[in-house]
């Protein structure tokens, strides 16, 4: 699985859009980008994933650059409950090695 690089921490004002970047410059053509988050003391929670097109669901939007070497997770209207560590992961969703490899993530703090 390709390695990812994320800033260790970010702050965002409550009600504003939180934009979390992720670099994955060595991503392969068949690797997807996944985002998970972990709220304090809980297990990680799936947010969204995509291959090359931008994706949106009820939680967030995922913007993947055309060259697929980076992506941005957007929380459109951040709330205090969005304070968490956010993990960007790239992986091939099928094949012999089905593991998720987590890095150290970005600690997002929503400021009231």
Cβ within 8 Å of residue 74, ≥6 positions away? 17, 18, 19, 20, 60, 61, 62, 63
Nearer to another protein, 42 or 53 (CB): 42
Does 44 help bind another protein (rule: CB under 8 A)?
yes
Is residue 69 involved in binding another protein (CB under 8 A)?
A: no
The CA distance from 8 to 15, in Å, is 22
- In the list 14, 32, 61, 63, the residue contacting another protein (rule: CB under 8 A) is 32
57 binds another protein (CB under 8 A): no
- Rounded Cα distance, 38 and 1, in Å: 21
Q: Is 29 in the site for another protein (CB under 8 A)?
A: no
User: Which two three-digit tokens encode residue 52?
Assistant: 């090359």
d(CA 33, CA 51): 6
Rule CB under 8 A: say whether 34 interacts with another protein. Answer: yes
58 is an interface residue for another protein by CB under 8 A: no
Binding to another protein by residue 41, rule CB under 8 A? yes
Q: Which is nearer to another protein, 14 or 23 (CB)?
A: 23
């Amino acid at each position: 699985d390709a390695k990812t690089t994320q800033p260790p921490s970010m702050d965002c004002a409550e009600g504003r859009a939180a934009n979390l970047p992720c670099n994955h410059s060595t991503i392969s053509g068949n690797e997807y980008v996944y985002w998970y988050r972990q709220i304090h003391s809980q297990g990680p929670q799936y947010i969204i994933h995509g291959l090359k097109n931008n994706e949106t669901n009820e939680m967030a939007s995922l913007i993947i650059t055309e060259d697929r070497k980076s992506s941005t997770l957007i929380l459109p209207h951040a709330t205090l409950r969005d304070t968490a560590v956010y993990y960007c992961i790239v992986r091939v969703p099928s094949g012999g090695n089905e593991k998720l490899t987590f890095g150290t993530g970005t600690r997002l703090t929503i400021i009231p």
